[in-house]
Structure 1
Amino acid sequence: MIALRYTLFAVLSTAVNIAFQYISFLIYSGFLALYVAMFVGTVAGLVLKYVLDKKYIFFHTPKSKKDDGKKFFLYSLMGIFTTFIFWGFEIGFDLAFEDEGAKYLGAVIGLSIGYIVKYYLDKRFVFKD
């Protein structure tokens, strides 16, 4: 059941990430637009995924706002490595293929790999108690 929920939340977070990237491109298409969009999408997906994972995957109830902040910091820290996977795929697909949608395909592949790795990092280092 947890695997199904985690997969559903990963799909939802990926959709939010891609949607925010798309919106970012509509608003800004100038210098380094891809990187701005990736950052915006990453932040949107991160916040949503943290809330869902904390409550429905790891069943963590923060003891205080400080505890919640600490968990979010650790959660974000674990996400740095997986974000490099995601961004690497998205940038690679954007550079390798001339199709406008290629970057999104790369993002989906990178996010899928990253979320699998992130589950184990979060389980071991973030929500270990």
Structure 2
Amino acid sequence: MSLIARYTAFAVIATLANLGVQRLVLGGADTPLRLVLAMAAGTLVGLVVKYVLDKRWIFDDRSTGARAHARRFTAYTVMGGVTTLIFWGSETAFWLAFGTDLAREGGAILGLSIGYVVKYQLDKRYVFTPA
């Protein structure tokens, strides 16, 4: 049970980091591409935060060195690409359907929640495996 609690807590932390960065970008950017820029920046920050937490506290991966980190982070990012489509699709759909920041963030939270469940399974099977 503690694994589920930790994973959920880390997903919440990464989600808050993601949405916080999105708000910063949306507040500062005045361009037609501002939503895309905000989603990309938030996703990158959330990815790094979640990787650091998952590596050590979820999968107990104690590998060190640039090569090990590069391999794991690359695989983690590729698996994240799959789940990012879920997240971005949900966030964009809510934005287009309702046109409010609250709805957009609700769609983001829904998409991230679904994506993190899928991502755990992918990471367990393909990322944090013996070298």
| Shared fold per TM-score greater than 0.5 | yes
Q: How does 1:103-122 map to 2 (within 5 A)?
A: 103-122=104-123
Aligned length: 129
Alpha-carbon distance between aligned partners in 2 of 1:98 and 1:46, rounded to the nearest angstrom: 26
The alpha-carbon deviation at position 61 of structure 1 amounts to: 1.3
Measure, in 2, the Cα distance between the counterparts of 1:87 and 1:75. Answer: 17
Q: 1:5 maps to which residue?
A: 6
* Deviation, structure 1 residue 41: 0.2
CA distance in 2, matches of 1:88, 1:21: 16
Residue 27 of structure 1 corresponds to which residue in structure 2? 28
Write the distance in 1 (CA, Å) between the matches of 2:112 and 2:88.
8
Task: Return 5+ residue gaps in structure 1 as ranges.
Answer: none
The sequence identity of aligned pairs, in percent, is 46
- The equivalent residue for 2:126 is 125
Amino acid corresponding to residue 96 of structure 1 in structure 2: A
CA deviation profile, 1:29-62 (whole Å, cap 9, x unmatched): 3121100000000000000000000010001012
Q: Give 1:98 deviation, angstroms.
A: 2.7
Q: Is the aligned partner of 1:90 residue 2:86?
A: no
- Work out the CA distance in 2 between the residues paired with 1:98 and 1:91: 10
Q: What is the root-mean-square deviation of aligned Cα atoms in Å?
A: 0.8
Superposed structure 1 runs of 4+ greater than 2 Å apart: none
Which residue in 1 is equivalent to 2:74? Answer: 73
Name the structure 2 match of 1:16.
17
Residue number in structure 1 paired with 2:47: 46
Distance 1:87 1:63 in 2: 32
